[in-house]
Amino acid sequence: MSALEKSMHLGRLPSRPPLPGSGGSQSGAKMRMGPGRKRDFSPVPWSQYFESMEDVEVENETGKDISFSGSEGPVLLLLHGGGHSALSWAVFTVSRLLIVQVNVSETKVKNPEDLSAETMAKDVGNVVEAMYGDLPPPIMLIGHSMGGAIAVHTASSNLVPSLLGLCMIDVVEGTAMDALNSMQNFLRGRPKTFKSLENAIEWSVKSGQIRNLESARVSMVGQVKQCEGITSPEGSKSIVEGIIEEEEEDEEGSESISKRKKEDDMETKKDHPYTWRIELAKTEKYWDGWFRGLSNLFLSCPIPKLLLLAGVDRLDKDLTIGQMQGKFQMQVLPQCGHAVHEDAPDKVAEAVATFLIRHRFAEPIGGFQCVFPGC
């Protein structure tokens, strides 16, 4: 069973304590915590991880939020997964193992309903052009899950002229296509609303969606938003769980049911003022286009490639053959969930740093020792 499928099934299980984010010492510290000691689930601002954030105008569309960290070395352009935000990369960007320019793209466009692979790949190319003009610096594209698929589509379409490397994190065509069959059930199994940001962060950790508390405290802020129309009598569409649709017996009964549902909806919004920022269920028509043919597209990109996985069982036939032929570098990071870069940010940073040094895209400093994977 793949890490993505496991995380989907875990979402339907009772809450469990999270695994350590990284390193053995952190695990020991957690074990020493007394029963009266409470964990801190309070949100952390983005400014603790990124140096600046700018709006970039692209094709007369404003709202391409780009977060910056670092000013040396090649640019790492990071693309987040579906439903996540640029903040999912926050802890990764401050890893002591990386001294590079890190740009994290979070796009807001005029037509947010168009989430096709072609459109989002063009968005990436347009952002690079808007930021750097005709002479962009050396860039490595790194994408997690859906972001990894978009990175591959961007690379295969030659939309970034200075692209020197490509990295996919925990996304493989075969297992992704298999997981899509149960994705709607997984999404229905998530809470629809949260009482507070702290409540959302606590859920993400205890459900195993994010196993690193530090990352969850900054990442979940970008995944949820305040419910709209909390004080408005009209409100927005109901997000309340458990409302039973009743057949209309007569016009008067129908009006009574509708009124009662609206009142219940408003009360729930007052008690649970946060909901998911992205309604992933509505993007289903694009899922197939994100992942179908992804393995062959990845293998056909004529640049050095890196694949980071949470489990070796995820490889499909095409990638297994390609890996045996040495067409890309692969590394498995065990004891991670689907959000590999959040659960083990230092290990991902080490893998990326080793990749950059191995291909002479960067020079090691401070006695950094490359640890080349055995597979």
Q: Going by C-beta distance under 8 Å and a sequence separation of 6 or more, which residues neighbour residue 360?
A: none
Listed in sequence order, the residues at least 6 apart from 20 whose beta carbon sits closer than 8 Å to its beta carbon are: 26, 27, 30, 211
Rounded CA-CA distance 289/204 in Å is 28
As a whole number of angstroms, the distance between CA 144 and CA 310 comes to 12
Residue in 84, 144, 153, 338 annotated catalytic: 338
- Residue 144: φ, ψ to 5°: -105, 130
Give yes or no: 341 in active site: no
CA-CA distance, 92 to 55, in Å (whole number)?
Answer: 22
Is 338 assigned a catalytic role? yes
DSSP category for residue 345: H
In whole angstroms, what is the distance from residue 121 CA to residue 123 CA? 5
- 303 contacts: CB under 8 Å, gap ≥ 6: 155, 163, 164, 165, 166
Given the residues 67, 105, 145, 219, select the one marked as catalytic: 145
**C-alpha–C-alpha distance, residues 372 and 216, integer Å:** 29
Buried b / exposed e along 179-189 (16+ C-beta atoms within 10 A): bbeebeebbee
Residue 141: phi, psi to the nearest 5? -90, 130
Catalytic residue among 123, 170, 265, 343: 170
Most distant CA pair in the chain: distance in Å? 78
Active site residue 2: no
Closest CA to 4 of 82, 78, 79: 82
Enumerate the H helices of the chain as residue ranges.
Answer: 3-10, 24-32, 90-93, 117-132, 146-156, 173-180, 183-188, 197-206, 213-219, 251-271, 284-291, 294-300, 317-324, 340-343, 345-358
Residues noted as catalytic: 145, 170, 338
